[in-house]
DNA sequence: TAGATTGTTAATCGATTAACAATC
DNA sequence: TAGATTGTTAATCGATTAACAATC
């Protein structure tokens, strides 16, 4: 099984979301229809889908339900994963009550913060002292960390996360993080995105 | 002046942020140093910077302050722009108190929502009735709209935004938006990003 | 069967990297 | 001057699109 290019993987949630908007009355769908709905080329859609183990039938297209299953399988939606937010300010707090991660098999189980005022170990989504990072990672089997701390301490927090054994990091801090091989970082710089949008 | 590729433009905030972390004691910097700090190729850095009007000097590199200015100029940071959030749930609310947009010359001036319970026209960042979208866009000269409404009404809200004359839209809803030519949409799907991170 | 749609191979396009002359 | 670093031209790499035979 050939490795799926990141750029293809990044389109999979879009395919999933679109296919899910189509009701039960849609049993089969062609690459051309998907392409048109998402504004992509139809050959690109077929190339992307060819990485999954869902095969289309000439003349009939793809089975919608089967295709969703194949995409979700690549996205590992059926393997449950736990995530934690480090830094529970406004953004971190908003993420903790964000429900949408579940559809990809991800539960944001808790937050961690240095500020004693925001700690609450008994909440539905508990907020632990940042010093307990190692224990929390072990207790919940955290595989994904979301960094929502202020810019200046992002690298320090990142180092602690890496030391705790977590290998996947999503960061909202606009800082280029240095991580060892094997650790993957994705960046979500809200301000930069808005700035690029404004200037293009 | 040749059009700057989007992928280059998307790296400009990273260059800016890095250059700003260097203090006054750094007067000049080479493409190699920037490349190393950001994990890019040094020729790529020079290619990217060549789109700005900052020219480097062989042997000396680029003047740091001048380069920041040139990057900010392309990113139009010195042209002030107003933005509004449509949908003031947890995420929309967090964005309203997010200060980081200012460094790119963008002010998130207000929110709009359908829910009468969250409205507050007298707050520092007022929240208006969504019905007043046209008036708000005119009153504040809104150039950027951030969609934070639930998935199912994202397209409807998007259509209203387009009708109000706003041509730049950042959306947190995981829905492919149909917009007329000339309107640009950028997508910020938090859950999808975490899912891709988890599966790559 | 005929025709729509797939999967694949070849061509194109754009982005990155390599090579190198120019120059401070 | 000599050497580090730029800017540019050529080569490579990867992603997208075009063409088309296979097939349901």
Spatial distance from the CA of A13 to the C1' of D17 (Å): 23
Instruction: Give the residue-averaged pLDDT of B8-29.
Output: 96
- Asked whether the predicted pLDDT for residue A160 surpasses 90, the reply is yes
Q: What is the pLDDT of residue B109?
A: 98
Averaged pLDDT, B50-69: 97
| Neighbour-count burial of A179, counting CB atoms closer than 10 A to its CB (0-12 exposed, 13-18 middle, 19+ buried) | middle
pLDDT value of position B1: 63
Asked if A196 and B190 come within 8 Å (Cβ–Cβ), the reply is no
Is residue A28 pLDDT above 90, yes or no? yes
> What is the residue-averaged pLDDT of chain A?
97
Q: Give mean pLDDT, residues B124-149.
A: 98
Q: Which residue of A has its CA nearest to B100?
A: A191
Confidence label for B2 from pLDDT (cuts 50, 70 and 90): confident
Q: Tell me the average pLDDT across B118-128.
A: 97
Closest CA-bearing residue to C1' of D4: B59
CB A55 under 7 Å to nucleic chain C: yes
DSSP H/E element including B134: helix B133-140
**Interface check B10 vs A, CB under 8 A:** yes
Q: Which of A80, A89, A99, A74 is nearest to A3 (CA)?
A: A74
- What's the confidence (pLDDT) of residue B162? 98
Say if A175 is an interface residue toward chain B (CB within 8 Å).
Answer: yes
B168 pLDDT more than 70:
yes
Q: pLDDT, tens digit, for every residue of B73-86?
A: 999 999 999 999 99
CA distances from A72 to A14, A76, A82, B8 (A): 11, 6, 17, 32
- CA torsion B146-B149-B151-B156 (nearest 10°) is -80
Instruction: Give the mean pLDDT of chain B.
Output: 97
CA of A148 to C1' of C15 (A): 32
Q: Is B63 exposed, middle or buried (0-12, 13-18, 19+ CB in 10 A)?
A: middle
pLDDT of residue A38: 98
pTM above 0.95, yes or no: yes
In sign, the C-alpha dihedral spanning B190, B191, B196, B198 is positive
Which residues in window 34-93 of B are less than 7 A from strand D by Cβ?
42-43, 46-47, 49-50, 55-62
Interface of A with B in 61-90 (CB under 8 A): 74-77, 81, 83, 90
Instruction: Report pLDDT digits (tens) over B180-198.
Output: 999 999 999 999 999 999 9
Choose the closest CB to B190 out of A38, A100, A176.
Answer: A100
Output the distance from A40 CA to C10 C1' rounded to whole Å.
21
pLDDT of residue A2: 76
- Mean pLDDT confidence for A43-57: 97
Give me the mean pLDDT over the B30-35 stretch. Answer: 98
What pLDDT is recorded for position A82?
Answer: 98
Q: What is the pLDDT of residues A51-83, one digit of tens each?
A: 999 999 999 999 999 999 999 999 999 999 999
Q: What is the pLDDT of residue A132?
A: 98
Residue A1: pLDDT band (50, 70, 90) is low
Neighbours of A184 (CB within 10 A): 15
């Amino acid at each position: 099984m050939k490795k799926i290019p990141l750029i293809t993987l990044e389109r999979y949630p879009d395919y999933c979301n679109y296919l899910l908007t189509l009701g039960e009355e849609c049993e089969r769908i062609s690459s051309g229809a998907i392409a048109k709905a998402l504004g992509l080329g139809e050959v690109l859609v077929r190339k992307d889908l060819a990485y999954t183990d869902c095969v289309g039938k000439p003349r009939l297209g793809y089975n919608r339900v089967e295709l969703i299953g194949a995409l979700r399988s690549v996205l590992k939606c059926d393997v449950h994963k736990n995530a934690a937010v480090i830094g529970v300010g406004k953004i971190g707090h908003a993420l903790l009550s964000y429900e949408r991660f579940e559809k990809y098999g991800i539960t944001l189980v808790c937050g961690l913060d240095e500020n004693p005022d925001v700690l609450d170990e008994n909440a539905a989504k508990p907020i632990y002292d940042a010093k307990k990072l190692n224990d929390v990672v072990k207790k919940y089997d955290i595989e994904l960390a979301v960094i929502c701390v202020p810019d200046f301490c992002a690298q320090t927090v990142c180092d602690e996360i890496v030391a705790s054994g977590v290998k996947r990091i999503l960061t909202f801090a606009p800082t280029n993080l240095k991580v060892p091989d094997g650790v993957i970082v994705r960046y979500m710089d809200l301000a930069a995105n808005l700035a690029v949008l404004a200037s293009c």
